[in-house]
Amino acid sequence: MNIDPLYIFVFAGLFSPGPNVILLTASGARFGFKPTLPHVLGVAAGVGVTSGLTGFGIGALLLAQPTLALALKLIAVAWIMWMAWKLFRSRSGPQAKTKDRPFTFIEAVLFQWVNPKVWAVALAASAGYSSGLSPSGEAIRLATAFSGINLFVCLFWSYAGSLLTYLLRTPQAWQIFTTVMALALAASAVMVFLS
């Protein structure tokens, strides 16, 4: 049985820590697995759309238009830093009464447009693992591979986060957890200028 190398590349690229992994793990820990499911589904759908667009040559457009690429990078950095700040300021565990909530489906889909890791993995996949299909065929192939694989990746990380609540029983533990996750998310903003 031969496995398409695209699937291995996509799994490795999306399973490793990045903005989605950090946010889903934190959301699973803070809000629980079931309340995080719209976020999970939004990430899977958004990643599928973003990667599918690279099959149509959107990546080439971004490379050809440095001003557009820079604007996208600046928006990405601002959004990621804002989310890191919100996470850093949230000092509550799952039982605390708070106005915070998990991402909605739409918010998670929209975040993929400025997620630097998704763009980097999608652009590399479309350039390095093309199967010679038509642009629409390549877009469908990339979208289904990314969306399908990422659904399981997102389910894993959000469930893993929900299991962390058993270890985070004190306000100090929650403070350490949210600080570490916020710093990791802020550090991921550096990827914007490396992609």
CB 50 within 8 A of CB 122: yes
pLDDT in tens, the chain (195 residues): 677 889 999 999 999 888 999 999 999 999 999 999 999 999 999 999 999 988 887 766 766 777 877 787 788 788 888 888 988 887 655 555 556 789 999 999 999 988 888 888 888 888 777 788 888 888 999 999 999 999 999 999 999 999 998 888 888 888 899 899 899 888 887 766 665
CB 54 within 8 A of CB 148: no
57: left (phi over 0), alpha (psi -120 to 50) or beta: left
Beta carbons within 10 angstroms of residue 21's beta carbon: 24
Rg of the chain over all Cα atoms, to the nearest angstrom? 17
CB neighbour list of residue 11: distance below 8 Å, 6 or more residues apart: 149, 153
Q: Please tell me whether residue 76 adopts helix, strand or coil conformation.
A: helix
Domain residue spans of the chain: 5-193
Burial label, 178 (beta-carbon count in 10 A; 0-12, 13-18, 19+) = buried
